[in-house]
Amino acid sequence: MLYAQTTPADKRAAFRERLAGGELLRFPGAFNPLSARLIERKGFEGVYISGAVLSADLGLPDIGLTTLTEVAGRAKQIARMTELPAIVDADTGFGEPMNVARTVQEMEDAGLAGLHIEDQVNPKRCGHLDGKQVVDEHTALQRIRAAVDARRDPNFLIMARTDIRAVDGLDAAVDRARRLVDAGADAIFPEAMASLEEFAAIRAAVDVPLLANMTEFGKSDLFTVQQLADVGMNLVIWPVSMLRIAMGATGRALDELTDAGALTRLLPEMQHRADLYDLIDYEGYNRFDTSIFNFTVAR
Ligand SMILES: C[C@](O)(C(=O)O)[C@H](CC(=O)O)C(=O)O
Ligand SMILES: [Mg+2]
């Protein structure tokens, strides 16, 4: 009832332990707190909180317009609704290395299990679009050092994302991944890899956990969990997928309203009221209420 029972510290510790085991952990993107509960209910290992989704949700493009306060606030709402660890997309860290440090502490306080900071120039853009720019190595490493220094819970995962593959090629990505690890990154998110072989090349270069981004309509083919596990990936995200699915379905429902004037035909597609109430745990609230009023007061 109300929120998850697991504390952020416990979520982080459990997440770190599982990650150290080397298996591939699946983190679908939650587009709101309720969908995070569904991700948990369906047996996934974690929840991803996407910057692209957060900005799209506000009707904004994903070009660094959202603020630290907005992202941390929304991430907190999502993270506290699930027992699963949640990782948030912190874009470029919302400013200079000093801002990156503050970002880490805010995300710790918001109950996240970790975040990723990327090496794009501001204004950043979706990693799967053309025309990206990356910062020089010194700046990229400074961001990660600042993040690592700022964290208070050693289990809070600092992941370095590098966007350099699409700008300077795979060799540059391998080199940057190595340096980001030397700077203290706990994990690497190599963005916009073109093939499984490219993921494998990063795997061969560094020993830390690696994340694969299976976003649709981008630069990577959509590999299966098995394919990614076979090349040694440790985390996989489908960052915007659930929002795309929900928005696709919403568009079709609106068309049906226009065409048929009622949604009767779409009832089988809908989450049933009973399933919604079950997910929200209405029963738990009911128990809470009856326990409050189970006494009498003498006059
Ligand atoms: C992972 C990502 O950073 C996100 O914000 O979800 C995006 C996803 C997308 O725009 O498809 C990305 O830059 O890959
Ligand atoms: Mg993003």
Cα(195)–Cα(54) distance, rounded to whole angstroms?
A: 27
* pLDDT at position 293: 63
Nearest CA to ligand 1 atom 6: 50
Which ligand 1 atom minimizes the distance to the CA of 50? 6
Whether 218 lines ligand 1, by a CB cut-off of 6 Å, is: yes
Which amino acid, 227? Q
In which residue ranges of the chain is pLDDT below 70?
292-293
Q: Is 149 a catalytic residue?
A: no
Q: For ligand 1, what atom is nearest to the CA of residue 191?
A: 14
The C-alpha atoms of residue 241 and residue 236 are separated, in whole angstroms, by: 12
> Whole-model pTM?
0.96
**For the chain, how far is it from start to end, CA to CA, in angstroms?**
34
62 C-beta closer than 6 A to ligand 1: yes
Rg over alpha carbons for the chain, rounded to the nearest Å, is: 21
Q: Which of 47, 240, 241, when mutated, tests ligand 1's pocket best, judged by the most ligand atoms within 8 Å of its CB? A: 240
Which chain residues have CB less than 5 Å from ligand 2, an ion?
51-52, 89
Q: Please tell me which residue in 12, 26, 74, 116 is annotated as part of the active site.
A: 116
Is there an atom of ligand 1 within 6 Å of 89 CB?
Answer: yes
Structure tokens at 226: 């098995």
User: Rounded to the nearest 10 degrees, what angle do helices 68-79 and 97-109 cross at?
Assistant: 30
**CATH 3.20.20.60 residue spans of the chain:** 8-240
pLDDT at 291: 75
Instruction: Answer yes or no: is the C-beta of 50 below 6 A from any ligand 1 atom.
Output: yes
Cβ proximity of 192 and 131 under 8 Å: no
- What pLDDT, on a 0 to 100 scale, did the predictor assign at position 118? 97
234 is catalytic: no
CATH architecture of 8-240: Alpha-Beta Barrel (3.20)
- Total residue length of the chain: 299
192 alpha carbon to ligand 2 midpoint, in Å? 12
> Is 10 among the catalytic positions?
no
Task: Tell me, yes or no, if 285 is annotated catalytic.
Answer: no
Question: How large is the ipTM?
Answer: 0.99
Percent of the chain whose predicted confidence (pLDDT) is above 70: 99
Q: In the annotation, is 48 catalytic? A: yes
| Torsion angles phi and psi, residue 49, rounded to 5 | -120, 110
